[in-house]
């Protein structure tokens, strides 16, 4: 028989033990007005579930590269191919940040490998027993590839053409049968790695270059606008040369990046691929503008004390027109209709006031006037080019773009590149 005091003590102990569990429970937070507590809890759980499954770009690229390399190695080993590491190397080398960049590099690597294999077989066939003639011919071929690498375009293609030819030629030795097998094997495994990574990159988390391309286009327009303002202030005795030179260096770097991203965006974006000619023409217009700006600032130091407004009476109006053009380019890049249309303006030159200056100052001012006159059609071309790309050419006041024939490729021999 249980004592009543013991029963009451046991009940009190149970109540005390239950207190911590009550305090551990989640405090009830009143849901927002118009929302049930069940809906709030469901939303919080959904948020946690989404954040828990989110992967960074670095993690995604790592998974894609690892998966493609594993598949490439597995296929090469299952087919009993020698040196399957070549397939893995191909996956690693063509793995870039965007799909377009990867495809462009894959094409250059594949084409370069094929040409290098053919070149190696030709050298072995021509000089099977003459080792010195073979080394001489191989050196000439590699020297030519090195020379072509100095160009701004297709550097990686010429790099692959050179070093793959050396690998096939030297590993094969005088055995022509082994050379053919080695060349075919190298081409097969390179193609395998490229094919596997291309499929994985397209199917699993494809990354387009359009976002980076639109960003660099906007940055480049802003930099060139700042560069023009800096040079105009420097011409009038304001600003610093260091600031202008920094903007010029930034402009050149961004143009190089623009060219690289444009090639990638043409591959992975249908819209930019369809407007390939317009964007390439815009790239040439950007380079032309930078070249004019470089020539413009060469004569600033000679006319620091000269009143430019007196020599060029409508200089302020001319500057305002160019400023408006840059602003409208920025406006169209954001997708807005241009609010100002370019008007024909010619920078006047007071020849009577020019005669009162020294011959050295006259030459400098004439050079500045010529550069400013060149900026007028250059900025107009930039404005018209962007208006055509953004489909604003139908707007009244925007002049149509002159269709110019593409220049012939420059095949001039570069002595400085050969010396380097």
Segment of 95-99, 371-375, 413-417 carrying the highest mean pLDDT: 371-375
Whether 12 maps to a domain, the answer reads: no
User: Residue 128: CA atoms inside 13 Å, Cβ hemisphere, count?
Assistant: 6
Instruction: Give the three-state DSSP class for 116.
Output: helix
Answer yes or no: do 215 and 189 share one domain.
no
The answer to whether residue 241 sits within a structural domain is: yes
For the chain, percent of residues with pLDDT exceeding 90? 25
What residues contact 285, with CB distance under 8 A and at least 6 apart? 378, 381, 382, 385
| pLDDT grade for 340, boundaries at 50, 70 and 90 | confident
Residues 191/110, Cβ–Cβ less than 8 Å: yes
Residues 66 and 189 in one domain: yes
pLDDT for residue 403: 45
Tell me the pLDDT tens digit for each residue of 207-232.
888 888 999 999 999 999 999 999 98
What span, in angstroms and rounded, lies between the C-alpha atoms of 115 and 109? 10
Q: What is the pLDDT of residue 53?
A: 58
Which of 203, 238, 273 is the C-terminal boundary of a domain?
A: 203
SS (H, E, C) 151-177: CCCCHHHHHHHHHHHHHHHHHHCCCHH
Judgement on whether residues 198 and 133 belong to the same structural domain of the protein:
yes
Higher pLDDT, 304 or 30: 304
Residue with tokens 């290098």: 116
Query: Which residues are CB-neighbours of 146 under 8 A, at least 6 positions away?
Result: 158, 162
Looking at residue 2, its pLDDT comes to 44
Residues 6+ apart with CB under 8 A from 34: none
pTM of the model: 0.69
Structure tokens given for 150: 């100095």
CA angle 292, 297, 301 (to 5 degrees): 160
Residue 317 structure tokens: 């109006």
- Confidence tier at 313 by pLDDT (50, 70, 90): confident
Across the range 132-152, mean pLDDT stands at 88
To the nearest 10 degrees (0 to 180), the angle between helices 85-94 and 99-126 is: 140
Same-domain pairing of 171 and 281: no
If asked whether residues 226 and 90 sit together in one domain, one would say no
Nearest C-alpha neighbor of 303 from the set 242, 228, 365:
365
Same domain (yes/no): 233, 379: yes
Residues 97 and 238 in one domain: no
Q: 148-195, pLDDT tens digit by residue?
A: 888 767 888 999 999 899 888 887 766 667 788 888 888 889 999 999
Mean pLDDT of 55-78: 88
In eight-state DSSP terms, residue 139 is H
User: What phi-psi label fits residue 30: left (phi over 0), alpha (psi between -120 and 50 degrees) or beta?
Assistant: beta
Is residue 90 classed as helix, strand or coil in its secondary structure?
helix
Q: Return the closest-CA partner of residue 185 out of 170, 200, 172.
A: 172
Regarding whether 337 and 247 lie in a shared domain, the answer is: yes
Cα–Cα distance, 215 to 221 (Å, whole number): 10
Residue 281 near residue 385 (C-beta atoms within 8 A):
yes
How far is 251 from 289, CA to CA, in rounded Å? Answer: 11
* Interval 351-396: pLDDT, tens: 888 888 888 888 888 888 888 899 999 999 999 999 888 887 644 4
Q: What is the largest CA-CA distance in the chain?
A: 130
Q: Over the stretch 248-305, which tens digit does the pLDDT of each residue have?
A: 999 999 998 998 888 888 888 888 888 889 999 999 999 999 999 888 887 777 777 7
Does residue 5 form part of some domain? no
Give the 3-state secondary structure percentages of the chain, helix then strand then coil, rounded to 5.
Answer: 75, 0, 25
Among residues 181, 203, 225, the one where a domain terminates is 203
CA gap 299, 295 in Å, rounded:
8
Do 110 and 231 lie in one domain? The reply is no
Look over the chain and give the mean of its residue pLDDT values, rounded to a whole number.
Answer: 79
Same structural domain for residues 114 and 142?
Answer: yes
Give domain status of residue 52, yes or no: no
The Cβ of residue 95 has, within 10 Å, a number of other Cβ atoms equal to: 22
Give residue 180's domain range. Answer: 57-203
Any domain includes 248: yes
- The rounded distance, in Å, linking the Cα atoms of 271 and 273 is 5
Q: Which of 174, 203, 232 is the last residue of a domain?
A: 203
Let me know if residue 32 belongs to a domain. no
Which pairs count as long-range contacts for 233-240, CB under 8 Å and 24+ apart, including other chains?
A: 234/297, 234/300, 235/296, 235/297, 235/300, 235/303, 235/308, 235/368, 236/308, 237/304
Mark whether 285 and 336 lie in a shared domain. yes
- pLDDT of 20 above 50: no
Closest-CA residue to 98 (of 155, 57, 67, 66): 57
Distances from the Cα of 189 to the Cα of 84, 95, 106, 111, angstroms: 7, 16, 13, 13
- 401, two tokens: 């773009």
pLDDT for 51 beyond 70: no
Q: Are both 128 and 219 inside the same structural domain?
A: no
Number of domains in the chain: 2
Give the number of other Cβ atoms within 10 Å of residue 336's Cβ. Answer: 12
Q: Which two tokens stand for residue 2?
A: 């249980």
The answer to which of 24-33, 103-112, 130-139 has the lowest mean pLDDT is 24-33
- Nearest-angstrom CA–CA distance, 152 and 133: 32
Has residue 23 been placed in a domain? no
Residue 292 · residue 251 · CB < 8 Å: no
Other residues' Cβ atoms within 10 Å of the Cβ of residue 268: 23
Specify if 145 maps to a domain. yes
């Amino acid at each position: 028989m249980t004592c009543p005091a013991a029963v009451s003590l046991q009940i009190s102990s149970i109540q005390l033990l239950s207190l911590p569990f009550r305090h551990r429970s989640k405090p009830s937070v009143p849901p927002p007005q118009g929302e049930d507590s069940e809906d709030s809890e469901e939303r919080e759980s959904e948020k946690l579930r989404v954040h828990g499954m989110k992967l960074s770009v670095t993690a995604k690229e790592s998974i894609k590269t690892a998966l493609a390399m594993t598949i490439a190695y597995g296929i090469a080993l299952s087919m009993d191919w020698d040196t399957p590491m070549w397939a893995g190397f191909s996956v690693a080398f063509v793995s870039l940040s965007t799909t377009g960049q990867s495809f462009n590099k894959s094409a250059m690597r594949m084409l370069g490998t094929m040409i290098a294999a053919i070149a190696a077989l030709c050298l072995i066939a021509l000089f099977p027993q003459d080792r010195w003639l073979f080394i001489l011919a191989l050196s000439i071929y590699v020297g030519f590839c090195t020379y072509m690498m100095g160009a701004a375009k297709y550097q990686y293609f010429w790099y692959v053409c050179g070093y793959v030819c050396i690998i096939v030629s030297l590993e094969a030795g005088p055995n022509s049968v082994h050379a053919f097998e080695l060349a075919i094997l190298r081409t097969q495994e390179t193609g395998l790695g490229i094919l596997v990574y291309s499929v994985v990159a397209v199917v699993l988390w494809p990354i387009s270059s359009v976002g980076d391309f639109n960003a660099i286009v906007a940055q480049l327009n802003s930099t060139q606008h700042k560069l023009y303002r800096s040079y105009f202030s420097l011409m009038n005795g304001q600003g610093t040369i260091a600031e202008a030179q920094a903007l010029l260096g930034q402009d050149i770097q961004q143009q190089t990046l623009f060219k690289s991203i444009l090639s990638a965006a043409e591959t992975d974006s249908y819209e930019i691929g369809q407007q390939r000619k317009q964007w390439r023409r815009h790239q040439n217009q950007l380079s032309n503008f930078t070249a004019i700006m470089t020539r413009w600032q060469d004569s600033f130091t000679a006319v620091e004390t000269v009143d430019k407004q007196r020599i060029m009476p409508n200089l302020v109006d001319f500057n305002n027109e160019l400023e408006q053009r840059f602003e409208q380019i920025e406006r169209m890049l954001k997708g807005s209709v241009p609010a100002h249309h370019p008007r024909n303006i010619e920078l006047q030159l007071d020849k009577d006031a020019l005669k009162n200056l020294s011959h050295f100052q006259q030459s400098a001012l004439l050079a500045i006037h010529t550069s400013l006159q060149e900026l007028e059609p250059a900025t107009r071309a930039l404005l018209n080019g962007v208006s055509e790309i953004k489909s604003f050419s139908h707007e009244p006041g925007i002049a149509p773009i002159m269709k110019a024939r593409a220049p012939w490729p420059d095949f001039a021999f570069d002595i400085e590149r050969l010396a380097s």
